[in-house]
Structure 1
């Protein structure tokens, strides 16, 4: 719907959604009423976590993964998902300008700090959100894409439901405190997986450690990008009410894991917990490949902070929303699906177009090297990868898979080892790549 607002059908759908949001402000829907976010209080443990296999969606570990939590600035992953969607569909270009409205410029820190009427490029805006966690830029982008932040937030909630985020509700684009804005560790893992699956060509933004903006170097908050090998995203978050949050992902030996840690008592504790979960997850995956039956829970010491989160006097937060308080007030565009405990997203039937002569497949695994708004762009990417990595993909069958108006460039018919080796080499050269297991 968000991709085709100009059509009559989408216009009516958007109007209906806007009306439902107005009604919802007066009387919560059955779905939203079922989310017990108002039960959160200072005595309830805030910690929640989950680890999943990015390829299959299998849950390797979870702790209160479905309990409602405040996402804080991890919210911006959804804002970026919709931004990437607009880019992939041609409704937005990286060189387009995003103008600061008075409302955007007035947002609380962390922010870029441009005055109302000034602007920055879409590329700069994406970096400002991923690196600086800029709240003013998130609001400006929301207004650029949907006309208003409230309308954009309704679209965020709708897209989340389509992705399978059953316990999430968005009311703003930044993650600034609002007791109505809630999510869960499982939902944020679903969102993280969908972002890297649907828009691998933009995923590298999440591994940006810093960038220059108008002569000043802006350094990011995600310290694991410097300290953990293979860690490449995604987003930090912090408010007094949420504790220290992090949605992260890392790659080892061709395997990618996604983890979400919510409600940590400090930046250091959260980062250490994230690293422990991921490293244990990789070890478990390796041992399972040798036939062992084991789990993360059986191999990790669970130092679970129970009770209220106390902010240490020396803790400065992530620079996201430190000191602010709650105010009471892997397929582009997958259809609504029931999310099984494995988090395996349903995949829509799609047509296969083969830009290159068919080759004899040797396995059932594939690698995806990008998702594009046109078939020709997807074919161009296939040719580029074939030229640069011919020894790795020569035995595979190149194909363009269409789904939801987006064209996915893939190499199919590979063995598991070949797919992982190819993706490891391709990503090492800063090219998008994701391993796809047999369906």
Structure 2
């Protein structure tokens, strides 16, 4: 795939074109998010905190709890999973399990990852939770513990339930937790096929074959949810996680994900020039702070009046005192709170400056003077750090 570089205005134009050109249909436009798997920073987002139905992305949490039990020694790959009549009766897609059939934990894991088998998910939920409903309560409890503030699970499989909801941001967070906590078991998500009782079971995840660097995770679909996918891909030492929820077709979902990941990788490769403090003489330019890569986030619909969850990222600089001074000057007219924190970038420590506790109007008003003083202007939803 051709590599390319983009500068700030070109980057902004490309992203806006990508989002605004996506066709409007009877279904709400897809929500999406792309994050840097290493830092958790959001690179791209639209409606990423809007509630959607997860469909079979629910199985990612079922797999998380399965991996957790395996890591703790409560399960082994060869452990036999009982198949109840209820689990065997799950609606498609299925491994066609039958009551009393001998099926292992690894069979269920691979069945969930590839065919998105609802019978395998239900059987695993019953094994881990005693009943699928009790397991779903555990799933929601674990979601809260992981920081997934808006997700509610009602079953282990993702079969339709009006109360079963998530967000693109929550699903990206879950995928990141799996990558961090279970790096060895993450390999299951790269499975394109496996043999089960004499049959070759193939994966529904076409991005594994079509997108360079993609190596997991999961697709999902119900009529209520539309076409969903969580994908992780790696190129040149950079790993991204993308989520698309609510596309109209599988092909459209995969196309959008590929475009988003392309844009995310291009953004991570982009070299930004140093913002030079305007009050420092040009003779001192060689020692001026160096800006780190900035992270654009696309605006979602206008929040309610009085909502002060927004923040503005001004950039990252080699001088802590300069970063602090810039943030304080920017915050003063809008009564914002100041945050300066160290970040590692290419072998050096930079100081990232942000102004928070802002309304969207305040964040927008802060931008022009901040840019004139040498900062960037990146308006972030307060939930954007994963």
State the TM bucket, normalised to the shorter chain.
0.5 to 0.7
Q: Does 1:93 align with 2:79?
A: no
**Any stretches of 5+ residues in structure 1 without a counterpart?**
1-41, 305-338, 343-413, 418-439
Equivalent position of 1:130 in the other structure: 113
CA RMSD of aligned residues (A): 2.6
Q: Which residue of 66, 70, 76 corresponds with 2:49?
A: 66
Q: Which residue of 221, 229, 233 corresponds with 2:216?
A: 233
Alpha-carbon distance in 2 for matches of 1:283, 1:208: 27
- Trace 1:244-393 onto structure 2 (pairs within 5 A): 244-288=227-271
Alpha-carbon distance in 1 for matches of 2:73, 2:50: 37
What TM-score results when the alignment is normalised by the length of structure 2?
Answer: 0.65
Equivalent position of 2:143 in the other structure: 160
Q: 1:290 to 1:202 in 2, by over 3 A?
A: farther
- Shift >2 Å, 4+ stretches: 288-298, 339-342, 414-417
Aligned residues: 267
Q: Deviation at 1:115? A: 1.0
Equivalent position of 1:151 in the other structure: 134
Q: 1:93 to 1:293 in 2, by over 3 A?
A: closer
Equivalent position of 2:122 in the other structure: 139
Q: Does 1:185 align with 2:194?
A: no
Q: Does 1:210 align with 2:211?
A: no
Contact 2:35–2:41, Cα closer than 8 Å, also in 1: yes
Alpha-carbon distance in 1 for matches of 2:222, 2:85: 24
Contact 2:136–2:155, Cα closer than 8 Å, also in 1: yes
Contact 2:227–2:248, Cα closer than 8 Å, also in 1: yes
Q: 1:108 to 1:214 in 2, by over 3 A?
A: same
Q: Deviation per CA, 1:291-312, whole angstroms, max 9, x where unpaired? A: 68666679xxx9x9xxxxxxxx
What TM-score results when the alignment is normalised by the length of structure 1?
Answer: 0.58
Q: Deviation per CA, 1:206-255, whole angstroms, max 9, x where unpaired? A: 00001111111111110011111110110000011111000001000001
Q: 1:137 to 1:295 in 2, by over 3 A?
A: same
Larger Rg belongs to? 2
Q: Deviation at 1:340? A: 10
Q: Does 1:119 align with 2:102?
A: yes
Q: 1:296 to 1:230 in 2, by over 3 A?
A: farther
Contact 2:82–2:103, Cα closer than 8 Å, also in 1: yes
**Any stretches of 5+ residues in structure 2 without a counterpart?**
1-24, 275-291, 301-308, 313-343, 348-386
Contact 1:277–1:296, Cα closer than 8 Å, also in 2: no
Q: 1:106 to 1:286 in 2, by over 3 A?
A: same
Q: Deviation at 1:117? A: 1.1
Alpha-carbon distance in 1 for matches of 2:174, 2:207: 20
Equivalent position of 1:435 in the other structure: none
Q: Deviation at 1:416? A: 5.4
